[in-house]
Amino acid sequence: MTILRFAADLRSLPQPVMFVPTMGGLHEGHLNLIHAAKRHGGTVVASIFVNPTQFGDRADFDAYQRDLGRDGELAEGAGCDVIFAPSVEQMYPGGTEATRVHVPEVTDKWEGEHRPSHFDGVATVVSALFNMVRPAKAFFGQKDWQQCVVVAKMVRDLGYPIELRFEETVREPHGLAMSSRNERLSADARRRAAVLYTAIRKTADEFRLGGEPRAAEANTSTILLQGGFESVDYVAIVDEDTLAQADLPTGQHRVIAAAQIEGVRLIDNIRV
């Protein structure tokens, strides 16, 4: 496996390129994306770049895991051919306050409301990475469903000739969605955090069977608070494509949620 630092070095890679963008701190969820990319053939490239423009909280950015040696070993074991690990200067030659990509409408609520400018940072870095890596296909996990919707809209609106693949969320044995943030939790909080998945599954079942959606969302928030979460940012039943809050179980929907436990903010979602 090769580690590259500069975009120019990507130009000579054998085509097609299968791309897995990450911020490092690799876990089984990321490795599942690399496995999926490998099955599609071509050269598998994973980026490792902790993107400063998508963090509103500097402490959160500083606390993010950084261990390129460990990540490289895991990625190589999963079948990755190339790690692209650029610097901030490489990704933002005009500085982090320079040109931004904004994806309207689907970034207004939910994560966008609680983390202002977060999705501008996501869209900007993903756009830049797409321009540098030039993949045929790009692979993302479904854990952050709103991010999937944002990236899909950006690709459509800007005409990127890239096929997007959104892979199923990989979970720990008790149901908690795999996340590098889980490592910040105590063993007890990690166990209690599994109620997030249990609760949104219950919400999905209630809505599917005709339950009143706002009541189901409120009940889930209560379950999370009673289960050990300190705060709940949102629980919402939304249209899968537009992220508009749903009233009737017609079409495709997701239950999305965000809550904090031991000061660690966790997100999850499930298809109805």
The catalytic residue positions are 30
Residue 266, CA distances (Å) to 128, 179, 187, 214 in order? 27, 8, 15, 21
Residue with tokens 């980026």: 47
State the DSSP string of 185-244: S-HHHHHHTTHHHHHHHHHHHHHHTT--HHHHHHHHHHHHHHTT-SEEEEEEEEETTT-P
Strand residues in 13-113 grouped as ranges (E): 17-22, 43-48, 82-84
Closest C-alpha among 176, 177, 175 to residue 145: 177
Question: Apex CA 52: angle with CA 51 and CA 57, to 5°?
Answer: 125
Crossing angle between the packed helical segments 145-158 and 118-133, to the nearest 10 degrees: 50
| Cβ pair 150, 107 in contact under 8 A | yes
Residue 79, CA distances (Å) to 5, 10, 30, 129, 216 in order? 19, 18, 12, 20, 42
Q: Which amino acid is at 73?
A: E
| Cβ pair 148, 122 in contact under 8 A | no
The encoded tokens of residue 189 equal 């909080």
